[in-house]
Chain A
Amino acid sequence: MLILISHIITGAADLGAAFLLMFGLKRMSSPESARSGIRVAGLGMLVAVLACFLNVVGVSAAARPHLIVNIVLAASMLIIGVGLAWWKGRTVKLTAMPQMVALFNGMGGGAAGAIAAVALIGRNAQGPALILALIGGLIGSVSLSGSLIAWAKLDEVLKQPLRFKGQRYFNALVFLATLAVAGYLVFIWQGGAAPLLSIPAWIAIFFGCGLLFGIFITLPIGGADMPVVISIYNALTGLAVALDGFVLQNPALMIAGMVVGAAGMFLTLIMAQAMNRSVSNILFSDFGDASKHKHGAIKGSLKPVEASDAGIFMRYAKSVIIVPGYGLAVAQAQQKLYEFVKLLQAAGVLVRFAIHPVAGRMPGQMDVLLAEAGVPYDLIFQLSDINPDFATTDVALVIGANDVVNPAARDDKSSPIYGMPILNADKAKKVYVVKRGQGKGYAGIVNALFYADNCNMVYGDAQAVLVQMIEAVRGLGAAAA
């Protein structure tokens, strides 16, 4: 009787949670309701987690003697995990958000892999569920190790993409080996042969191969492509969760996991489209390998100017388009930028922001940063909406962006970013580029824009540069008064 009641309560709670999660996600896809969306989804999650502990009345006979220990373990692990991640998620700097998403996503993948591992070891799953547990475990472990590499790259723990000759064949080999181990496990379970090693050992080898594959496939991918990679792993984790849901016969996991799997894949395609590259090209090409790429002869020279001069020039311009990039995020200069923009607006300058779809380390990261500074939405334009306007604009101010304004994408067929839609900042009458130093962008490509006749470089940390610009423009105002 107790079991029946617990099943009904957990079943209803999971149903409600699945609804609230989907409803929340739907609300998150519109700026007005986004905040309430995450709250709704959060409520659904809370209900599901609390109800999940009702499963104590229905545990299998074998687990019954360990029940008290397991409850204590589950509760303490839950508290530790939630506490640490909550603290980290609340305190991390805004610029570090992309790697945080990668890290938390990897944790989800790891959890999905671990659940599959237990199902395999305990042989709780039979028939098709066994196969799905293998697939879910593989996807989960790839997502775990891959996300951790993505995290390390974004956090700049790993600075260089690691590439070696025949890497693709090596990766294919690791993948085939993983599949072979999986096949062998199924063969053993079908009673095909007495295993050379114990079954748990083979399961461990299987997961080891999956983890290795995730590492090796992510290592050669350049940092600039990490947003797309995180999106793929996000989708993969969702898929692994959905498969675990089938193994555990839990429809809430199946639905929530699959929704994320599909949504993540779709988001990945949108992003890849924005870069005008296919997903497989991102995963398997040696993009951003500057050493292989021969640079065309670049005419012109770098022409540095003082920040104050650039600021004053913009004060007297009619229109300015600002192209923010990751450098803005690193310098935490979004507040100063908006302060400067407000000064220009007060002087009657038409100021707009142009956001490249893959600016920053995540799609929409620039939108989040600008929103944080309080920049109204209607000043922010996406690539296709603003690109025609550069030609009629007095000044394009590029702050900490590089590859997304590199004209090589338009006309240099040998360039690795050839074909990627870019912001046509070079078409503006005057271009100022605020940059920390003379280094290359994340893709490691020389930018011809910086050498163009209409372009001046303003070297320095974006925040310091903007402070100088603000002071210069304020100085003018004081002089006039």
Chain B
Amino acid sequence: MHFSIAITGFVALYIFMLAAFGGWVIIGNVPAILHTPLMSGSNFVHGIVVIGAIYTLLNASTVPEQLIGCSAVLLGAGNVAGGYAVTDRMLAMFKSSGKQSGKHSRAVHAKKS
């Protein structure tokens, strides 16, 4: 007997709708200064595709499925690791402006709102 999550019809649409709304709200008030890191960061987040790839490869039963599954895992792993490395490197630099960063970001938010 399988005990798995079943998402069908409208439930899927609700999930999609709420998630899309979440994405929109998250980006809504981001200062321009963070656009590049955020694009890179969201690039990392969709790297979660790698777990779908691993699942697919584990369930592969024919050679073509295994081959395509392998490329999926390889590409997905590249997405997730590369996305993280690049984003982390970018954001590490933002820290270097030290004491001024706190003050400024509040100013940015005040300006945005």
Q: Please give the residue numbers on chain A whose beta carbons come within 8 Å of chain B beta carbons, in ascending order.
A: 3-4, 7-8, 11, 14, 17, 21-22, 24-26, 28-32, 34-35, 37-39, 41-42, 45, 48-49, 52-53, 55-56, 58-60, 62-63, 65-67, 69-71, 73-74, 77-86, 88-90, 92, 94, 97-98, 100-101, 103-105, 107-108, 110-112, 114-115, 117-119, 121-122, 124, 128, 200, 230-231, 234, 237-238, 241-242, 244-246, 248-264, 266-267, 270-271, 355, 357, 362-365, 367-368, 371-372, 374-378, 380, 382
Contacts and interface: CB of A to CB of B under 8 A. Distances in A.
B46 A237 contact: yes
14 contacts: A25-B41, A31-B105, A32-B102, A32-B105, A42-B84, A66-B66, A81-B74, A111-B53, A230-B39, A250-B52, A253-B49, A367-B32, A375-B97, A378-B103
Most A CB contacts (10 A, CB to CB) among B29, B30, B68 go to B30
B97 A377 contact: yes
Interface in B39-64: 39-62, 64
B94 A371 contact: yes
Contacts of B19: 242, 254-259, 262
Given A25-B45, A49-B50, A85-B82, A376 B57 contact: no
Given A31-B94, A263-B23, A367-B33, A17 B48 contact: yes
A49 B52 CA distance: 9
Contacts of A66: 60-61, 66
Contact of B41 (A41, A89, A252): A41
Contacts of B85: 85-86, 88-90
Query: For chain B, what secondary structure do more than half of its interface residues adopt (helix, strand, loop), or is it mixed?
Result: helix
A253 B46 CA distance: 8
A117 B66 CA distance: 11
A377 B33 contact: yes
Interface of B: 2-7, 9, 12, 15-16, 19-24, 26-62, 64-66, 68-97, 100-105, 107-109
B51 A254 contact: no
Given A21-B45, A81-B75, A111-B53, 13 more contacts: A24-B45, A38-B87, A100-B82, A111-B50, A114-B53, A114-B75, A118-B72, A249-B5, A253-B51, A260-B42, A270-B35, A363-B32, A363-B39
A53 B59 CA distance: 11
Given A34-B91, A56-B58, A251-B7, A382 B78 contact: no
Nearest to B41: A28
B86 A70 contact: no
Contacts of B64: 121, 200
Contacts of A59: 58-59
Contact of A374 (B4, B47, B60, B97): B97
Nearest to B30: A29
A246 B45 contact: no
Contacts of A245: 52
Nearest to A112: B49
Given A31-B101, A34-B91, A89-B86, A253 B58 contact: no
Contacts of A371: 33, 93-94, 96-97
A79 B33 CA distance: 33
Nearest to A247: B52
Given A73-B66, A107-B76, A255-B15, A260 B86 contact: no
Nearest to A235: B42
